[in-house]
Structure 1
């Protein structure tokens, strides 16, 4: 689990960064927040999570390069400003 920084929500710009990063991996990646799951490669699904600052995100990846995908996306969330 990783928390969104307190002043960052997954609105259009951060969600776009997240989706572009996820798309660079072959792994299937699911992000969970607020009791919902989203395909990390779908901007609409990420936006629909409604994740606000301080929200806990769970990043689950499977398949080729899953560990690298999960690590990179967790790092990206931590770097969001």
Structure 2
């Protein structure tokens, strides 16, 4: 017998661009990494031509994203919409 995967049919891609109110430093990077780890979707952050896995604080900080710059949150998977919304909210309210 063969079975089809429900996750293949329910997986989706979502994306949001966020203008940072503050530099992406250790505190917001830590919040993003913790939040990203709670999702099963593949999540990526893009800035200035670079893409990183947001589950790593050092990779997030290595982006060098400054206040006023735009960071794109992209996720693919069953909880992609929730992942993008959560990370975009953290980025948009970073201090």
Same fold (TM over 0.5): yes
The normalised TM-score by structure 2 is 0.78
Q: Secondary structure at the match of 1:32?
A: strand
Question: Are 1:22 and 2:36 matched, yes or no?
Answer: yes
Cα distance in 2 for residues equivalent to 1:29 and 1:77: 14
Could you list the runs of 4 or more consecutive aligned residues of structure 1 that deviate by over 6 angstroms after TM superposition?
Answer: none
Count of paired positions: 79
Q: Calculate the aligned-residue CA RMSD, in Å.
A: 0.9
Identify unmatched segments of 5+ residues in structure 2. Answer: 1-16
Unaligned runs of 5+ in 1: none
Pairwise CA distance, 1:64: 2.2
Q: TM-score, normalization: structure 1?
A: 0.90
